[in-house]
Amino acid sequence: MDENCLNDCANSMYLFPLIGSFIGLLAGLIGWAVSFFLPSLLVGAIVLGFLLLITGLHHMDGLLDFGDGVMAHGSAERKIEIMHDQLTGAGGLTLGMMTLLTTAICIGGIKQPCIIPSLIVAEASAKLAMVVGAWAGRPVHKGMSSAFSAAMHGRHGNLRLLIAFLIAFAVALPLLWLAGFIALAVSVLASFILVLIAHRNFNGITGDVLGATNELARMTSLIAMVAMLR
């Protein structure tokens, strides 16, 4: 990605929850439409496939690398080296499979009238978690994550974080009220936990960590909504 384009994207990171809401709307419409003639598990798989494809599998690649890095033995430098290689190990495969299966099952478990609002809230939650991760984390090296962290740690970082929260809650509360609030809260908690894990294993965050945050925060928010909407 061009450096100027990357910096512009990073400076507009507070809009991530709004972009996620639009992606969730598209996914929700697809899920709602196919739910009329397909069983729930297939609905979950199709919707998840759409979510992965629309992001170019970029975040899923980060999740796989994150799983490999966390499960590797050795120094932080060695773990980061493993994250950056072209191979996917048992840690990445296991984390990826569990995340994909859980997410698809959760989407399939949402009742038809709630599919659209639930997916809007889930994607807003996932993107808010990325904003929180960039704000709370310390970049390991200069790269994609450092641009986002710099934007969220700079003079306007706290304001950008506040705007992202306001957007996310303005989307989630009217749609699902308490369930939406819980979904956002759980995703933010997941983001802080992932930052702690990343700092412990890698001495900071990387682009892969932010990608993993998106996938895992979506999953945790969906779990929370399935529990709340039963």
CA 6 to chain centre: 19
How far apart, in whole angstroms, are the C-alpha atoms of residue 100 and residue 45? 9
Please give the backbone phi and psi of residue 62, each rounded to the nearest 5 degrees, phi first: -65, -40
8 Å CB contact between 229 and 175: no
Averaged pLDDT of the chain:
93
How far apart, in whole angstroms, are the C-alpha atoms of residue 203 and residue 183? 28
How many domains are there within the chain?
1
The interaxial angle of helices 178-202 and 76-84, nearest 10 deg, is 110
CA distances from 18 to 39, 96, 131, 201, 221 (A): 30, 26, 12, 31, 16
Domain that holds residue 218: 3-229
Tell me the sheet residues that pair with 205: 139
How far apart, in whole angstroms, are the C-alpha atoms of residue 118 and residue 226? 9
Angle at the Cα of 137 from the Cα atoms of 135 and 138, rounded to 5 degrees: 115
pLDDT, one tens digit per residue, over 79-123 is 999 998 888 889 999 999 999 999 999 999 999 999 999 999 999
pLDDT, one tens digit per residue, over 1-37 is 556 777 788 889 999 999 999 999 999 999 999 999 9
pLDDT, one tens digit per residue, over 145-196 is 788 988 898 788 999 999 999 999 999 999 999 999 999 999 999 999 999 9
8 Å CB contact between 195 and 212: no
How far apart, in whole angstroms, are the C-alpha atoms of residue 130 and residue 111? 27
